Amino acid sequence: MEFATMKERILVVDDQCDVADSLVRLLMTLGYEAKAVYDGRQAVDQAADFLPDMVFIDIGMPGFDGYQTVSRIRGHRECAHAILIALTGWTTGEDRQRSYSCGF
């Protein structure tokens, strides 16, 4: 297994704190700089400050859902380079299409 050689920044966004924290611990073990936030509003604020290279975003969150969060993060010019990855159990074709069209 090849570990990260540069300290790429990864933001994890999930309202299930245990899920977010576990993923952050795994990413840190692999050599990434990782940070967890637990709702979409925090994600938008932190993305502008943390400037992540990649963001894992839960789609089904209260408040700003994952789709709204992606739209707002994509709106930050300094985050335009970030790779956004949807975390979800929603698997219908419609869900997949909506994810693509929102910028995942």
Total of domains in the chain = 1
Q: Which two tokens stand for residue 36?
A: 């967890």
Q: Is residue 62 part of a domain?
A: yes
**pLDDT averaged per 10 residues, the chain (length 104):** 71 97 97 97 95 96 92 90 86 74 73
Q: Is residue 31 part of a domain?
A: yes
pTM for this entry: 0.85
Strands (E), the chain: 9-13, 33-37, 54-58, 83-87
Q: Is residue 95 part of a domain?
A: yes
Nearest 5°: phi and psi at 63? 75, -125
pLDDT at 66: 92
pLDDT at 102: 73
Range of the domain at 95: 9-102
Q: Is residue 87 part of a domain?
A: yes
